[in-house]
Amino acid sequence: MFGALSASTFLGLPEGRLSDLPQRERGTVDIGLFGAPCATPYPSVGPYCRAAPEAIRRSSATYSSSVHHMNFDLSGPTVPAGVRVVDFGDIEWDAARPAENRATIRKASEGLLAIGAVPVVIGGDDSIPIPVIEAYARYGPVNIVQIDAHIDWRDDVNGERMGLSSTMRRSSEMRHVAEMFQIGRRGTGSARPADAQAAMDRGVHFFSAHAVHRHGTGPIAKQLPRGGATFITIDVDGLDPTVMPGVIGPEPGGLTYFQVIEIIDAVAASSRIAGFDIVEFVPERDVNGLGALTAFRLTAHAIGRIARQRTSAG
């Protein structure tokens, strides 16, 4: 379809290697994408999102020859002429070595930031944002906009403090993290009342899925910080399972595709998108490739918005 190429990289973009990042000159890459199949898996479920980067890239291959075609969600090509976007492949990982996985993810993110590139990470479970956001310690302050059905404020789960249920609590403890916006919470997850209270005490701006459906995304856009840098992290179970069926814990009432697009656009209009990740996609639970397509299109949209910020800045 659309004259698709046989592409192994995201959208058929140029290929790079993470091991070569230290040799790259600053300014030679605008946006650097890499896959992180695993960071800190819980023993009870293991690395259940490990096939996500491959599945998302495979879905993007359909559009690999049309990256410079008109994208009506962006009012122009996904990647404007002159913007250098490189797919650096996947990190090396071992489910039995979570500390090493985190160090590798953090190093890859730091390597991209060091050459002036914006990191885009496709995962992988929701523990992956912890080391990605850690990488911004020298580049802060940074705000966080998270889309998720759950708030991820557990201090630990059976002694593990770096797992997917603790992502936002760990992020809140980083000195370079400024304001936090958490969008899409609904139903029941692992959070206890005390976890929700800890988040409110931190000053998190919460917008439930119900509130977004009732009032739209306008109230979010009004509260987003003006200026500065913002990291966007999307746990795909924040979307409704009718558009994102491939998740481990589907919950009715999630955000729509265009509500998420509107949030990305609102962040781009108010601040610099300093990075982006998309996590928690489970290909084995997908239906007719719909979840992979949605994850790909959201990632491509974020890349398009980042690319436009790069061209307007330079």
Residue 171: inside a domain, yes or no?
Answer: yes
Residue 1: inside a domain, yes or no?
Answer: no
pTM of the model: 0.97
Provide the edge-to-edge strand list for the sheet that holds 85-90.
Answer: 85-90, 31-36, 118-123, 272-279, 229-235, 142-147, 177-183, 205-207
Per-residue pLDDT of 163-203, as tens digits, reads 999 999 999 999 999 999 999 999 998 899 999 999 999 99
DSSP 40: S
- Kindly provide the residue ranges of all beta strands, DSSP E only, lying in 68-141, ordered along the sequence: 85-90, 118-123
Residue 241: inside a domain, yes or no?
Answer: yes
Q: How confident is the model at residue 311 (pLDDT cuts 50, 70, 90)?
A: confident
- Size of the chain in residues: 314
Residue 2 pLDDT greater than 70, yes or no: no
Residue 4: inside a domain, yes or no?
Answer: no
Per-residue pLDDT of 36-59, as tens digits, reads 999 999 999 999 999 999 999 999
Quote the domain boundaries for residue 210: 10-313
Residue 235: inside a domain, yes or no?
Answer: yes
Residue 203: inside a domain, yes or no?
Answer: yes
Residue 5: inside a domain, yes or no?
Answer: no
Per-residue pLDDT of 192-232, as tens digits, reads 999 999 999 999 999 999 999 999 999 999 999 999 999 99
Task: Count up the domains in the chain and report the number.
Answer: 1
- Strands 118-123 and 31-36, bridge-based pairing: parallel
Residue 194: inside a domain, yes or no?
Answer: yes
CATH number at residue 109: 3.40.800.10
| CA–CA gap between residue 120 and residue 55 (Å, rounded) | 16
CA distance readout (Å), 260 to 142, 169, 211? 20, 23, 14
| CA–CA gap between residue 167 and residue 250 (Å, rounded) | 19
Per-residue pLDDT of 83-115, as tens digits, reads 999 999 999 999 999 999 999 999 999 999 999
Per-residue pLDDT of 249-295, as tens digits, reads 999 999 999 999 999 999 999 999 999 999 999 999 999 999 999 99
